[in-house]
Each structure stands twice: as structure tokens, then as C-alpha cells.
Amino acid sequence: MARQSVEGKGLFKPQKFTLKSGTKIDSRFPASTYVIITIILLILISAYITEFSIVKLIERGNEFFTIPLQMFPPDLSYIETVIPPLLETIQMSLIGSFIGCVLALPVAFLASSNINHNKIILKITRSILTLFRTLPVLIYATIFTYIFGFGAFAGTLAIIIFTFAVVSKMLYDNIETIELGPYEALLSAGSTKPRAIVTAVFPQVLPHFFSTSLYSLEMNIRSSAILGYVGAGGIGVLIDFTLNWTLYAKFGTIFVCLFIVVIAVESLSRYLRGRLS
């Protein structure tokens, strides 16, 4: 062994090795010790702020099942009432995702640094997209219900804006990774920029675009339950009603229907996305 003497255990400070030749070397700085200590401190602080108590959780944990137990067996006679708003939810998600994705396609090109070389427009587009993305669907829906009144329109508008912001971001991340050779070849052959984008960039981006669109549809169907809760149309309105009146068996029916729809849309979307890639 070349090492002669070792100083310290290397827990808080790097270990110091003195080699036979007299050279002193340090081991790597033990960052993980400090990271772990910070995380433990943050856990303690968070637990203090949120009044988290394990004792309470163990003592009253069984209360968690009071609502689910009343949900089953579901009240199947309620199914006739559930279907129309459920269809409305699907319609809202479909049209919302569709319009949101169509709007996202051109904007994503404006926000890709390899296609759009105008730094100012790039920065502005990206900032606006970031701003849109920070707010959850729920907040949009709430604001729109105050402006446009309760109903599906406010919810659909919220879905459109949210889908637009998320899909644009996913899309410009993808556009920035494409092969630019064909596009530049067309430009140097005298093609116009839009023409070059359609011929050389679209074929590379479209599969990803369709896959993202399907993914956003999945996401929107899942989040649409919340929309109705603030009065923006769809199945959530019924969820709000049944929960407020503690009609948990009826809520069970809604839940089962929603579950089936989510699973169906998810499986279909996964199958189609598998075909795309």
C-alpha cells in the first residue's frame, strides 16, 4: 500500500492521506453527510410547521376508511344521473385538449431556440408560457367561473389554457433535440422558412406531438373531476353535490364510472402511443 497515514474518518471533512513519497492528498468532499443533515433538519421543521404527529395518525388512522367503506357497495340506480355529466366531462377534455394542442404547435416553434433566432421573441414567448404553466387548472377554472358564470365553458377554457402551456413546453423541448440537417438543406436550396419547417421538421416532431396530445388528454380527464368541484361543469358538479350531502353510496357510483373512463382512456392512449413510437 502506498498510503502511510490517514487523518480523520472523512465524515465531515475530506480524509487526508499522506503517501510514502510525502505527497498529501484529500479524498472527495463528503457532501452527502451535509445533504443528509439538511434533509433531516428540513423534515423536523416541516413536521413542526404542519403539526404532523405520528401518534395521531396511528390512533385515528382507521377513520380514513369511514368514507371509502360507505362508498361500497355503490348505489347503481344512480348511474342514469351519472352518465350525462360524465359525457360532458369527456367532451370538455376532448375539445379542450384538441384546441390547446393545436394552439401549442405554432407557439412551440416560436419558443424553440434552434428554429427561432430572434432572442427577444424567444424570451417573451417562453416567459408567457412559464407564467401560464405556474397556475394549476383549478385556479383558472375558478377565475373563469366568476367571469363567464358557472358551466362547461369556463371549465373548457381552463383546460385549453393549461393544455396549451404544458404541451408547448414539452414540444419545444423536443423540437430543440431534432436533426436540423434537412431543414438547413432546404433553406439553403432557397425554400421559405414555413415551407422548410413543414417539410423537414414536421415529420420529426409530429409523432412526439401526437403522443403528447394523447398524454394531455389523459391528464385532463383525470383533473376534470376537480373542475366541476368549483362549478366549471362536468362530473365534478355531481361529486360536489354528493360529497356535500354525504351521499357516499352515490359518490361510489360516480367514482366507479370515472375509474372505468380513466382506465379506458389511459389504455387506449397507451396503445396508440405505443404504435406511434
Partner 1 sequence: MDKKFDKHLYKKLEEEPNRLVQNIIIIVLVSILVIWSASVIDIPEINDKGKEIAKNIVMSIFHPNTDILFSLSETGVPALLIETLAIAFLGTLIGAVLAIPLAFLSSKNIVPRWVTFPGVASITFIRTFPVFIIGLMFISVSGPGPMAGVLTMAVTSVGMIAKLYIDVIEDLNDGIIEFLDSAGCNTTEKVFAGVFPQLMTNFISITIYRFEINVKNASVLGLVGAGGIGYPLLAAMGNSRWNDASAYLIGLIFMVIVIEIFSTKIRARLSYGK
Under the rule (CB under 8 A), what is the footprint of partner 1? Answer: 39, 42-43, 45-47, 49-53, 56-57, 60-61, 63-68, 88, 90-92, 94-95, 98, 130-131, 134-136, 138-139, 142-143, 146-149, 151-153, 156, 222, 225-226, 229-230, 233, 239, 243, 255, 258-259, 262-263, 266
Helices (H), the chain: 31-49, 54-60, 66-71, 79-110, 119-134, 137-148, 152-175, 181-188, 193-196, 202-229, 235-244, 248-276
Helices (H), 4-78: 31-49, 54-60, 66-71
Identify which of residues 107 and 258 has a Cβ nearer to partner 1 in the complex.
Answer: 258
CB of 113 to partner 1, least distance (A): 16
Identify which of residues 18 and 30 has a Cβ nearer to partner 1 in the complex.
Answer: 30
SS3 207: helix
Tell me if 37 sits within 8 A of 53, measured CB to CB: no
Tell me if 269 sits within 8 A of 218, measured CB to CB: yes
Q: How far is CA 107 from CA 48, 115, 117, in A?
A: 44, 11, 14
CB of 18 to partner 1, least distance (A): 27
CB of 216 to partner 1, least distance (A): 14
205-236 exposure pattern, b = at least 16 Cβ within 10 A, e = fewer:
beebbbbbbbbbbbbbbebbbbbbbbbbbbbb
Tell me if 239 sits within 8 A of 256, measured CB to CB: no
Q: What angle do CA 206, 223, 151 make, to 5 degrees?
A: 105
Within 10 angstroms of residue 245's Cβ, the number of other Cβ atoms is 10
CB of 5 to partner 1, least distance (A): 28
Identify which of residues 79 and 243 has a Cβ nearer to partner 1 in the complex.
Answer: 243
Identify which of residues 58 and 120 has a Cβ nearer to partner 1 in the complex.
Answer: 58
CB of 75 to partner 1, least distance (A): 17
Which three cell numbers mark 143? 377565475
CB of 109 to partner 1, least distance (A): 22
Identify which of residues 19 and 40 has a Cβ nearer to partner 1 in the complex.
Answer: 40
Tell me if 139 sits within 8 A of 133, measured CB to CB: no
CB of 192 to partner 1, least distance (A): 23
Identify which of residues 197 and 239 has a Cβ nearer to partner 1 in the complex.
Answer: 239
CB of 101 to partner 1, least distance (A): 11
Identify which of residues 101 and 175 has a Cβ nearer to partner 1 in the complex.
Answer: 101
Identify which of residues 18 and 243 has a Cβ nearer to partner 1 in the complex.
Answer: 243
